[in-house]
Amino acid sequence: MKLHIENLSQTYPNGVQALKNVSLEIETGMFGLLGPNGAGKSTLMRILATLQMPDSGSITFGEHNVLIDKTEIRQLLGYLPQEFGVYPKIKAISLLDHLAVLKGIGNSSERKNRVEQVLVQTNLWKHRNKRLGGYSGGMRQRFGIAQALLADPKLIIVDEPTAGLDPAERNRFHNMLSELGNNAVVILSTHIVDDVTKLCPDMAIIHEGVIQMTGSPQEAIEALEGNVWQRVIPKQELDKFKQQYQVIGEHLIAGQTQIMILSDFDPGNEFKPKPADLEDVYFSYISHTQQPVLV
Amino acid sequence: MLWNVIQFELQYRKGRPATYIYFFILFLMGFLAIAVEEFTVGGGTGQVKENAPRAIAFMMVIMTALPGFLMSSAIMGTPVLRDFEHKTSTLFFTTPISKGTYLWGRFWGAMIVLLFVFSGVLFGLMLGAAMPWLDEDKMLPYNAWHFIQPFLVFVLPNILITGTLFYMGGALSRNLLFVYVQGAMLLVLYLITGDLLNDLDNQRIAAILDPVGINLINLVSRYWTVAEQNSQVFSMTGLVLINRLLWIGISVAVIFLTHYIFNFNIVKRGLWRRKQKEAQQVALPKLIATEINLHFGSKIELQRILHLANLYFKEVIRSIPFLVIASFGIVMTFINGWSFGSMYGTDSYPTTYQVLNVISGFNLFFIILIVFYSGELVWRERDIKMNQIFDALPLPNLSSLLSKFLAFVAIHICLLLVLMLAGIAIQAIHGYFRFELGVYIGNLFTENLAFLILFTLLAFFLQIIANHKYLGHALVVLFFIVTLVMTQVGLEHNMFRFASGSLGQYSDMNTYGHYVPPFSWYQLYWMAFGVILFAVSVSFSVRGVDTMLKKRLQLAKLRFARPLMILTAAGLALFIGSGAYIYYNTNILNTYQNSDEQIDLQVAYEKELKQYEADLQPKIVETYVEVDLYPKKRNFTAKGHYILKNRSGEAIETIMVQEPPHLDNHTDLLDFTYLDSIGGQGVELEKNWEDFGFSIFRLPRPLMPGDSIQMDFVQRYETVGFKESGSNTNVVFNGTFFNNTYFPSIGYNRSVEVGSDSERKDHDLPEKERMRERDDPVGQSITLVGDDGDYIRFETIMSTDPDQIAISPGYLQKEWEENGRRYFHYKMDRPMMNFYSFLSAKYEVMREAWTTPQGESINLEIYYHKGHEFNLDRMMEAMKHSLAYYATHFSPYQYRQMRIMEFPRYATFAQSFANTVPFSEGIGFIMDIGEDDVDIAYYVTAHEMAHQWWGHQVCEAQVKGNAMLSETMSQYSALMVMKEKYPPEKMQKFLKYELDSYLNGRATEQKKEMPLSLVEGQGYIHYRKGSLIMYALQDYISEDSVNTALHRFVTEWAWRQDRFATTDILLGFFRDVTPDSLQYLITDMFETITLFENRTVDATYTEQSDGEYVVNLDISTIKYRADSLGNETEIPIRDWIDVGVFGETESGKDTLLYLQKHRFTANESSLAISVNQEPTRAGIDPINKLIDRNPKDNTRDLKKK
Work out the mean pLDDT of chain A and round it to a whole number.
Answer: 87
For B622, the enclosing helix (H) or strand (E) is strand B619-630
Q: Mutate which of A16, A64, A84, A102 to disrupt the B interface (most B C-beta within 10 Å)?
A: A102
Judged by CB atoms closer than 8 Å, whether chains meet at B307 and A101 is answered as: yes
Q: What would the 3-class secondary structure string for chain A be?
A: CCEEEEEEEEECCCCCEEEEEEEEEECCEEEEEECCCCCCHHHHHHHHCCCCCCCEEEEEECCEECCCCHHHHHHHEEEECCCCCCCCCCEHHHHHHHHHHHCCECCHHHHHHHHHHHHHHCCCHHHCCCEHHHCCHHHHHHHHHHHHHCCCCCEEEEECCCCCCCHHHHHHHHHHHHHHCCCCEEEEEECCHHHHHHHCCEEEEEECCEEEEEECHHHHHHHHCCCEEEEEECHHHHHHHHHHCEEEEEEEECCEEEEEEECCCCCCCCCEECCCCHHHHHHHHHCCCCCCCCC
Tell me whether residues A74 and B395 touch, CB distance under 8 A: yes
A 70-89 near B (Cβ less than 8 A) = 71, 74-75, 77, 79-81, 83-88
Mean of the pLDDT values across residues B926-951?
A: 94
CB B226 within 8 A of CB B47: yes
pLDDT tens readout for residues B550-570: 888 888 888 887 888 999 999
Question: At a CB cut-off of 8 Å and minimum separation 6, what does B390 contact?
Answer: B381, B400
Question: What pLDDT, on a 0 to 100 scale, did the predictor assign at position B1030?
Answer: 97
* B601 burial via Cβ count (<10 Å: 0-12, 13-18, 19+): middle
Q: Shortest CB distance from A74 goes to which of B277, B393, B545?
A: B393
Closest to B16 in 3D by CA, of B93, B101, B74, B87: B74
Q: Residue B267 — pLDDT band, cuts 50, 70, 90?
A: low
- Are B188 and B36 a contacting pair, CB within 8 Å? no
Alpha carbons B798 and B778: distance in angstroms, whole number = 35
pLDDT for B514 equals 94
- Average pLDDT for B880-892: 96
| Nearest CA among B700, B696, B647, B638 for reference residue B674 | B700
**Whole-number percent of chain A with pLDDT over 90:** 37
Picking from A207-211, B456-460, B476-480, which range would have the lowest pLDDT averaged per residue?
B476-480
Closest residue to B304, CB basis, from A49, A84, A102: A102
pLDDT band at A289 (very low <50, low <70, confident <90, very high): low
The question of ipTM being above 0.95 is answered as no
Q: Does B614 touch chain A (CB under 8 A)?
A: no
Confidence of residue B242 (pLDDT cuts 50, 70, 90): very high
Task: Examine the pLDDT at A295 and tell me if it is beyond 80.
Answer: no
Coil vs helix vs strand at B582: helix
Does A102 contact chain B (CB < 8 Å)?
yes
User: Pick from B1053, B504, B499, B966: which is nearest to B729 by CA?
Assistant: B504
User: pLDDT digits over B180-224, tens only?
Assistant: 778 878 888 888 888 777 777 778 888 899 988 888 998 888 888
**B296 close to A (CB below 8 A):** yes
Q: Return the pLDDT at A291.
A: 46
Q: How far apart are CA B98 and CA B112, in angstroms?
A: 21
Residue type, B565: M
Q: Rounded to whole angstroms, what are the CA distances from A253 to A250, A260, A286, B185, B814?
A: 10, 12, 22, 65, 122
- Give the distance from residue B326's alpha carbon to the nearest chain A alpha carbon, in angstroms: 22
Pick from A51, A85, A87: CB nearest B391: A51
Task: Show residues of chain A in contact with B543, CB under 8 Å.
Answer: 51
- In one-letter notation, the amino acid at residue B832 is M
**A81–B388: do the CB atoms touch at under 8 Å?**
yes
Interface touch A105/B385, C-beta < 8 Å: no
Residue B1094 identity: N
Strands A29-34 and A185-190: parallel
Percentage of chain A lying above the pLDDT 70 cut: 97
Is A14 part of the contact surface with chain B (CB cutoff 8 Å)? no
What integer pLDDT is reported at residue A292 of this predicted model? 42
Residues of B in contact with A84 (CB under 8 A): 385-386, 388-389
From chain A, pick out residues whose CB is under 8 angstroms from the CB of B394.
71, 74-75, 77, 102-104, 151
List of chain A residues whose C-beta atoms are within 8 Å of the C-beta of residue B555: 53
Q: Mean pLDDT, to the nearest integer, of A176-193? A: 86
pLDDT of residue B1110: 94
**pLDDT-based confidence at residue B324 (cuts at 50, 70, 90):** confident
Distance CA B351, CA B921 (A): 12
User: Within a 10 A sphere around the Cβ of B756, how many other Cβ atoms?
Assistant: 14
- DSSP at B163: H
Cβ atoms within 10 Å, residue B658: 21
Interchain proximity A68–B558, CB inside 8 Å: yes
pLDDT in tens, B614-641: 899 999 999 999 999 999 999 999 999 9
Percent of chain B with pLDDT over 70: 96
Is the pLDDT at B593 greater than 80? The verdict is: no
* Banded pLDDT at B286 (limits 50, 70, 90): low
Q: Which of A51, A52, A126 sits opposite B282 (nearest CB)?
A: A126
Query: What pLDDT digit, counting tens, does each position of B810-822 carry?
Result: 999 999 999 999 9
Closest CA to B31 of B21, B41, B22: B41
So what's the pLDDT on residue B287?
63
CB B907 within 8 A of CB B920: yes
Confidence of residue A182 (pLDDT cuts 50, 70, 90): confident
- How sure is the predictor about B264, in pLDDT bands with cuts at 50, 70 and 90? low
Euclidean distance between CA atoms A5 and B592, whole angstroms:
62
Whether residue B660 contacts residue B667, with contact meaning beta carbons closer than 8 Å, is answered with: yes
Q: Which of A45, A51, A75, A82 to mutate to test the interface with B (most CBs of B within 10 A)?
A: A51
Q: Is the pLDDT of residue B1104 over 80?
A: yes
Query: Does A134 reach chain B within 8 Å, measured CB to CB?
Result: yes
Give the residue on A whose Cα is nearest the Cα of B380. A87
- Who among A13, A52, A134 is closest to B545 (CB)? A52
Q: CA B1025 → CA B160, B1002, B1186, distances in Å? A: 42, 10, 10
Q: What does the pLDDT average to over B681-692?
A: 88
Determine the residue among A42, A70, A122, A132 to mutate to test chain B binding: the one whose Cβ has the most chain B Cβ atoms within 10 Å: A70
User: What pLDDT sits at residue B181?
Assistant: 79
Instruction: Please answer yes or no on whether A98 and B311 come within 8 Å at the CB atom.
Output: yes
Tell me the pLDDT of chain B averaged across its residues: 90
Closest CA to B787 of B1073, B1124, B1060, B566: B1060
Contact A198/B at CB under 8 A: no
Contact A51 B392 (CB under 8 A): yes
Q: Of the segments B32-41, B331-340, B710-719, B922-931, which one has the largest average pLDDT value?
A: B710-719
Taking only the tens place, the pLDDT of each residue in B738-778 is 999 999 999 999 888 998 888 888 899 998 888 999 999 99
Q: How confident is the model at residue A290 (pLDDT cuts 50, 70, 90)?
A: very low
- Single-letter amino acid code for the residue at B200: L
Phi and psi based region of residue A176 (left: phi greater than 0; alpha: psi -120 to 50; beta: remaining): alpha
CB–CB of B980/B878 below 8 Å? Answer: no
Does the distance separating the beta carbons of B386 and A84 come in below 8 Å? yes
Q: Do A144 and B389 touch (CB under 8 A)?
A: yes
Report pLDDT for B533. Answer: 95
pLDDT confidence of residue B283: 66
Residues from chain A that touch B385, judged by Cβ atoms under 8 A, are 83-85
Residue in B closest to A158 by C-alpha: B389
Q: What is the pTM of this model?
A: 0.85
